[in-house]
């Protein structure tokens, strides 16, 4: 998908903009790059435009465009103004949760709906922070090169190592239930991943001012997510005035694959169109 660079008042932002119809703004999660598609690109075939904005530190979006979710939310408004887009439905995935919240809470007139997909709201725990700084600091390029090498040599082992941190099920049981298409999804996701400088920013983010959100919110979470605990769903529902939680019957953080994936797709479309 072709990307465009826009020079905002705070630095360069990379985005792609495809399709016709009402605009959906996609904010991808941690480690996701311009090439990572968690199935959302297919939304253009449902009659929507898809605006995907790379968050600070990812792809060619500069860190200066927003070290905090609130700062980057302001930068996103510059992009919307540049593209002459009045309102968007925001889809915030995983570590993009705080940015989705900041956009909806601080720019009511620009967000008509907010969808939080396995989206983090609470602070990262100390163990995760320590591991993230070690793995995805200066050595992050080597880490991802190693993962891609392992994907070539032993894809099952690479998938097993990563999924052990994304599911509460015994990882062998989880892997045994994966379809060939599910395995391809995970393979492609890992192959396209790169943390850049973005993930070290992500781990400093918290979702603030959730009670100020006026737009309807849909949160989609699973009880079996090891990386984003279901307590995030409870927090979202208890804080946001107009919020619906859809409990996904997924076996991992990756709610876009598995037997319930079609229900996730339908639930998202129903919420967007209602």
- DSSP, residue by residue, 156-200: HHHHHHHHTTTBSS-HHHHHHT--HHHHHHHHHHHHH---TTHHH
Q: How much is the pLDDT for 244?
A: 98
Sign of dihedral through CA atoms 133, 97, 23, 269? positive
pLDDT tens by residue, 139-148: 999 999 999 9
Residue 2 — pLDDT band, cuts 50, 70, 90?
confident
Q: Which two tokens stand for residue 244?
A: 């619906």
Residues 6+ apart with CB under 8 A from 24: 40, 43, 48, 49, 50, 51, 88, 89, 90, 91, 272
Averaged over 88-99, what is the pLDDT? Answer: 98
Q: Residue for token digits 């495809």? A: 18
Residue 205 has phi, psi (to 5 degrees) of -90, 145
> Is the predicted pLDDT of residue 1 greater than 80, yes or no?
no
> Is the predicted pLDDT of residue 239 greater than 80, yes or no?
yes
Averaged over 204-210, what is the pLDDT? Answer: 94
Q: Residue for token digits 């037997």? A: 259
Superfamily of domain 4-123+205-273: Alpha/Beta hydrolase fold, catalytic domain (3.40.50.1820)
Q: How much is the pLDDT for 121?
A: 97
In DSSP terms, which residues pair with 92 in a beta bridge?
27, 116
> Is the predicted pLDDT of residue 176 greater than 90, yes or no?
yes
Q: Where are the beta strands (DSSP E) in the chain?
A: 4-8, 11-18, 23-27, 49-53, 88-93, 111-117, 217-221, 243-247
Q: How much is the pLDDT for 252?
A: 98
Residue 165 — pLDDT band, cuts 50, 70, 90?
very high
Name the residue ranges covered by the structural domains of the chain.
4-123+205-273, 126-192
Residue 77 has phi, psi (to 5 degrees) of -60, -35
Q: How much is the pLDDT for 12?
A: 98
Pairwise CA distance, residues 119 & 129, whole Å: 17
pTM of the prediction?
0.97
Q: What percent of the chain has pLDDT over 90?
A: 98
Q: How much is the pLDDT for 98?
A: 98
Averaged over 30-50, what is the pLDDT? Answer: 98
pLDDT tens by residue, 248-266: 999 999 999 999 999 999 9
């Amino acid at each position: 998908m072709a990307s465009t660079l826009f020079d905002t008042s705070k630095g360069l932002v990379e985005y792609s903009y495809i399709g016709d119809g009402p605009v959906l703004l996609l904010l991808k999660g941690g480690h996701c790059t311009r090439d990572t598609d968690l199935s959302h690109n297919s939304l253009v075939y449902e009659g929507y435009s898809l605006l995907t904005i790379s968050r600070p530190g990812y792809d060619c979006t500069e860190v200066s465009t927003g070290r905090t979710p609130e700062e980057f939310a302001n930068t996103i408004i510059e992009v919307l103004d540049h593209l002459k887009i009045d309102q968007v439905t925001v889809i915030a995935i995983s570590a993009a949760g705080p940015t989705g919240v900041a956009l909806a809470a601080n720019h009511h007139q620009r967000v008509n709906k907010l969808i939080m997909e396995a989206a983090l709201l609470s602070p990262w725990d100390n163990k995760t922070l320590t591991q993230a700084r070690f793995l995805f600091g200066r050595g992050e390029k080597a880490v991802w090169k190693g993962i891609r090498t392992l994907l070539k040599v032993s894809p099952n082992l690479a998938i097993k190592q990563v999924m052990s941190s994304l599911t509460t099920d015994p990882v062998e049981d989880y892997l045994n239930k994966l379809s060939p298409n599910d395995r391809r999804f995970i393979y492609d996701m890992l192959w396209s991943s790169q943390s850049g400088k973005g993930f070290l920013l992500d781990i400093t983010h918290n979702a603030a001012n959730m009670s100020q959100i006026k737009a309807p919110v849909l949160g989609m979470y699973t009880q079996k997510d090891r990386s984003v605990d279901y307590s995030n769903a409870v927090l979202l529902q208890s804080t946001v005035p107009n919020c619906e939680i859809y409990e996904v019957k997924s076996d991992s953080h990756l709610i876009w694959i598995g037997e319930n994936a079609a229900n996730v797709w339908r639930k998202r479309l129903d919420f967007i169109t209602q």
